[in-house]
Chains A and B, each alone.
Chain A
């Protein structure tokens, strides 16, 4: 097996995550799909690192993880404050800039 198979898997996971973002309406599930896409990118970066024999890919994956963690913190805080004002976590209800 060539490690390029990991890239195929990463592409598949990324596509699945993208379809989740487009299809689902619940903001939390939407966020999970974004996490799935980020994870797929990380898998691709780690595989690149192995294929090229240097650790730069892993460094970039590490930074991706940090950014993803920050993104989740802010995003979930937005979801919580949104839920407080609308009593709903559906992105369809976010149709107004202000209540």
Chain B
């Protein structure tokens, strides 16, 4: 960086080729990061894009001879300010995604139009200014960039510097005052919370765990109610807000239907599909009742895999032993085993 600066003579008209390459490469990335900041749906992604843009701007400061500001940019902006943003994002919650609903009709397009016009004006203004050469900072930075800045701050700009200090103190106090909450009532203890629950008589036991009665017990899979529909109570609201809930209830029901169909085929019963869907509600009880014959059916299927469609690839039943694990695919059988252990734990 300093060599490129040293190559610039006084009142040069052009920077070195290296700096030009750096500008075009990093400038593109900076604009992309800025666009990502305003276009990303999730605020965390916006913050990360903005952090990248700020680091690139720090590199540009260094290239422009502002060595002190480049370092301050990295330490203060990407280090402190962006981390503060991320802290507040964590406090506010990642569920606070932006709504894309327009409250004022056509406001978005008008805003974009205004900004395009504004950018055109700015760029045109800069383009019209007759800038031929530039002085460069070799002379000003001769005694060192930090020393030069310090001389200016403590002579010409001393008053502004003092006021800046007062501003920072005020800001720190303001932040504390704004976020401080006077605790009017005492903290509610756990015993009081449980008594409150009993008094209100809603959810006296703890909330149901995720994956109860489902085929998986991962936290992002809702537990199933006896009729096979997912239960909202079993899922962490944060996951629901992020849209990271995996619903496998339909899968489980399809597997159950396939299992019943195979069982019936094996037993030689011939039932028309309308009849079967009518009896679908009784599927849970039905499946457990014919469990033993279901095992036989699956063993028969193992000899001719993929005989009847993808859903019947592996009839997964929680209390079925490792038979299907042996003839099923490796990954699937592993899932089966963990399911089985999960079921045993629940049984305990």
Contact = CB atoms under 8 A, between A and B. Distances in A.
Contact of A47 (B64, B85, B96): B64
Nearest to B50: A32
A83 B20 contact: no
A65 B171 contact: no
Interface stretch (B26-34, B211-219, B283-291): B26-34
Contact of B23 (A1, A71, A81): A1
A51 B92 contact: no
B216 to A, nearest CB: 31
Contact of A29 (B98, B118, B131): B98
Contact of B136 (A50, A63, A70, A89): A50
Interface string A34-77: 01100100110011011111111011011101111111111011
B318 to A, nearest CB: 39
B119 A92 contact: no
Interface string B154-166: 0001001000100
A14 B122 CA distance: 9
Contacts of B77: 35, 39, 65, 68
Interface string B117-160: 01100110011010100111101110001001100110001001
B66 interface: yes
Contacts, number: 246
Contact of A6 (B23, B89, B114, B116): B23
A61 B98 CA distance: 32
Contacts of A36: 34, 37, 50, 53
A51 B135 contact: yes
Contact of B135 (A4, A28, A32, A53): A53
Residues of B contacting A: mostly: helix
B53 A22 contact: no
B172 interface: yes
B20 A1 contact: yes
B134 A12 contact: no
A65 B57 CA distance: 13
Contact of B99 (A18, A25, A39): A25
Contacts of B50: 32, 35-36
B38 A23 contact: yes
A96 B339 CA distance: 51
A69 B92 contact: no
Give the interface centre of B123, B145, B181 by most chain A CB atoms within 10 Å: B123
Contact of B61 (A2, A43, A74, A79): A43
Contacts of A13: 30-31, 34, 53
B126 A4 contact: yes
Interface stretch (B67-75, B198-206, B249-257): B67-75
Given A74-B178, A90-B99, A55 B149 contact: yes
Contacts of B107: 22
A58 B148 CA distance: 10
Interface of B: 13-15, 19-20, 23, 27, 30-31, 34-35, 37-38, 43, 46-47, 50, 53-54, 57, 60-61, 64-66, 68-69, 72-73, 76-77, 80-81, 84-85, 88-89, 91-92, 96-99, 103, 107-108, 111-112, 114-116, 118-119, 122-123, 126-127, 129, 131, 134-137, 139-141, 145, 148-149, 152-153, 157, 160, 164, 167-168, 170-172, 174-175, 178-179, 181
7 contacts: A3-B64, A4-B131, A26-B43, A28-B92, A42-B69, A51-B134, A77-B178
Interface of A: 1-9, 11-20, 22-26, 28-29, 31-33, 35-36, 39, 42-43, 46-47, 49-56, 58-59, 61-63, 65-74, 76-81, 83-84, 88-90, 92
Given A33-B38, A63-B164, A74-B175, 5 more contacts: A2-B13, A24-B98, A29-B43, A50-B66, A50-B135
